[in-house]
Structure 1
Amino acid sequence: MVISAKIFNLPKESNMNEIRRKISDYKQETIEEIDGKALKLMTNIKNLKVSENEIEAIYQKDVIVFINQRGFVNPVIKTLETRISFLFNEKNYLIVFNKKRICNLIANELSKLLFIKIGKINEINIDPNIFQRYYELNKENTKVLFFDNIDIPGIRKLSLYGESLEDTQLYYEYLKHGKIWYIVFVPKIIQGTVGLTRNGIVVFFGKISFEEFKSFVINEVVRIIEGSF
């Protein structure tokens, strides 16, 4: 089983009550015409729940998919349901629980809804030094490291996995030429394997309920992002 999410930055000036007001019962309808056929697409936010420092909801969005039906390709409306959470602490975050492409789409749509324009909700950028420190404190639980920003001509990425992770000399050699972009590790508090990128994509490999995954992202991954582990 694979489940994923992406964490985004919310602007510092984000107001919890204002966001709650704007997304409460939000609904938008658009008409898209394909081959002379008008298709009504709905986007709405439902099941709003508010706690002390979190707003969670379900983001529903209709998309058009094309189905082959006995030799004819017909447009069909498919409704995507995605869980979202807004976190409000010293730093504010939006967490979207889906695959990367859908997460990015929803983040941009929420940015327009809440702040008028795209780009107010933006990608996080974890300090590479945080990844380095996390790995060096958790070597025994790390399975894979990928490095980017490589300065060796013709090489875009370097990786360490398996027995190579035990080669300290090779690890420091790679650090001379790049930065840790992606880390795969076994968490201490739940069973399974987690992948985390510097731009906030979280992938869990293993058997886990959604609520367990959500709790792990909020209580553990956010701590890694902030360097407070």
Structure 2
Amino acid sequence: MRTTTTTPRSVAQAFLTAPVRPQTYKNLAYLALQFPLGVAYFVLLVPALGFGLGSLPLLVLLGLPAVGALVVGVATMTVDRAVTAALLPVELERHTAGASLDDGVVVYLTDLLFDPGTYLSVVFVLAKFAVGIATFVVLTVSGTLVAVALAAPFLYDHPDATLTIPLPAAVGGGLVAVDTLPEALAFAALGVVGAVLVVNLWNAIAWLLGEATTLACRHARVLDVGSAVEPDRA
């Protein structure tokens, strides 16, 4: 088994080369998908759960919506697992049904209803709504700040653009206008540093979400969409 040794030099190299690594842009694509996926999961699952839970008192006759809501939860977890496996370098386990429809509808539904992984899938994909909003805010704010800083040399003398830098309260606060070329170049240099920091922040968030999905996939139920039963490597 190959082992890797982490040294200060390797950490610094990984930090500085983050903007040019292909995996960084896969991470960015993964983060950018969190908001639309989170909204889609919410829109699909919440009405299904509401309708399904409303039918629980008449489960024997009208309980199919409740079962359908659980199936929707498992299906969306399957989608989320597939997206994570396609974009992040993680190993994800596949927890599928212990019974199939070939065993009979009653056996299959019993397995679905009494599998804790079914409910973990529902909770996990519902949480993606909040995750998607938080990710969208981080990407939008950090990306905008870096883009403005890098564009400073092209905007500082534009009549419709006003560039200012907020000063910390420790030095008196207030705003400093960027209205000369040297100031704009200095601001752009800060933007380069900020870009490296921001890209590493994005990578760290993607890593955290990947680890959370890896942990969830150990127990969260997904649909059996393939013949593989072993953990697969993205």
TM-score of the superposition, structure 1-length normalised?
0.23
- Greater helix share, 1 or 2? 2
Q: Which has the higher contact order (CA 8 A, sep 6+)?
A: 2
- Greater strand share, 1 or 2? 1
In terms of Rg, which structure is larger?
2
TM-score of the superposition, structure 2-length normalised?
0.23
